[in-house]
Amino acid sequence: MPPVPIRPLTPADHDLLDAAVRLFRDVEVADHTPFLADPATIALVALDDGGAVVGWAWGLRQRHAAGYSQVQLYEIGVDGGSRRRGVGRALLTAFRDLARAEGHRRMWLFTDEGNTAAKALYESEGGEPSPHDDAGYWWQLTPA
């Protein structure tokens, strides 16, 4: 069981996405519909007991030129007061499980070379450092 509920966002989840964007990006977006309705979008939020957003992870379904599909985890974040309680791990694994269930061959992401927290999380969940990028990680989800 994840430490908090992890909720995949649907095109109807304008308010949850809005709360996450305000919390983690500090911006106002007039209309979240183009993002939420895009078939490429994958977006998850972590909710506390009161239903408030305390974490998010979002990314993209992609076609690879080599003939398969993959997902990029573009951003993952947990609110400062909710870190080190397993929320980031729950978001990462839920994102990976969803990608695997959809049949994508790989999940990949970039992080910053100095982001020790993120790198420790990715490595503890089987992420393999990319041979191409110093701070990239990838997961094989289905046989090549």
Residues that bind ligand COA (CB under 6 A): 76-78, 83-89, 111, 115-118, 120-121, 124
The smaller minimum CB distance to ligand COA, of residues 92 and 98, is found at 92
24 Cβ partners below 8 Å, 6+ apart?
A: 56, 75, 77
Q: How far apart are CA 111 and CA 133, in angstroms?
A: 10
Residue of minimal CB distance from ligand COA? 88
The smaller minimum CB distance to ligand COA, of residues 38 and 123, is found at 123
The smaller minimum CB distance to ligand COA, of residues 40 and 117, is found at 117
Buried b (16+ CB within 10 A) or exposed e, 65-86: eeeeebbbbeebbbbeebeeee
Torsion, Cα of 59, 36, 49, 123 (10° steps): 0
To ligand COA, the closest distance from the beta carbon of 37 in angstroms equals: 25
To ligand COA, the closest distance from the beta carbon of 141 in angstroms equals: 19
**Quick check: helix, strand or coil at residue 138?**
strand
To ligand COA, the closest distance from the beta carbon of 115 in angstroms equals: 5
The smaller minimum CB distance to ligand COA, of residues 67 and 114, is found at 114
To ligand COA, the closest distance from the beta carbon of 131 in angstroms equals: 19
Q: Which amino acid is at 131?
A: P
